[in-house]
Amino acid sequence: MVGTLDTYQIIVPDFGTFQGDFQVTSLEYSGEYNGESAFSVTLESAGAIAWTAG
């Protein structure tokens, strides 16, 4: 939910994983009914971010 502080895990294939407390400041999505979808999310961290190599 936009504006709520939660713990998220962001997985970047072939790179690694980021984990920490983030606030979603923007969330947009679009796409066809039966086709591909696209989304964009903007996060702001609220503390230390842990990174684990993939």
| Tens-place pLDDT, residues 6-54 | 999 999 999 999 999 999 889 999 988 788 899 899 999 988 999 999 8
Q: Give the domain range for residue 28.
A: 5-53
What pLDDT digit, counting tens, does each position of 43-52 carry? 999 889 999 9
Which string of b and e fits 27-49 if b means at least 16 CB within 10 Å? eeeeeeeeeeeeeeeebeeeeee
Domain count, the chain: 1
pTM reported for the whole predicted model? 0.66
Name the DSSP letter for residue 19. E
Measure the CA–CA gap between 11 and 16, rounded to whole angstroms.
6
